[in-house]
Amino acid sequence: MNSNLIQKNTIAEISAMSATNSLVAAMESWNILKQPDYTKEVNNMKFIMYKVPGLSSKNINITKQFVNKTKRTYLSITGENRYIFYTNKLDENKDYRDYTASIKTELDINTSVYNKYEYDIQDGMLIITLYEIVNKEPEFRDIKESGY
């Protein structure tokens, strides 16, 4: 099966499972995220998802960081966006609710297993795809079948 098709099907499946009904309720509940909400491994890909209602690709910054002393690689994920919702449409100066949607976390990456990544935001979900290093299959034969 095509890896792009697997990725699209998996993302659609995960997004459907994690859909939120209300942006306001979601932002109240998921303001700062530290652990992934969902992970799934398919073939040579690992999907890591965070709920990020109220944030878009313009608001999220993902950078790779390498710590020489520990020899560890991290993806640093940060983002913030402020929303003001007016509850009385007739008089915008009286009733409003102020919300800040944000995320700040670090994702530890095992670079002996993964060598590439990409990310996207769909339906209020930050989807990080890690790609495994494809190793060459070692030669291992049955002596009886190979004749020596």
Quickly list DSSP for the chain.
--HHHHHHHHHHHHHHHT--S-HHHHHHH-SS--S-SEEEEETTEEEEEEE-TT--TTTEEEEEEEETTTTEEEEEEEEEEEEEEES-SS-TTT-EEEEEEEEEEEEEE-TTTEEEEEEEEETTEEEEEEEE--PPPPP---HHHHT-
Domains and CATH numbers, the chain: 3-134 (2.60.40.790)
| Block mean pLDDT (10 aa), the chain, length 148 | 59 51 44 74 94 87 90 90 72 68 88 93 91 90 74
pLDDT computed for residue 63 by the predictor: 93
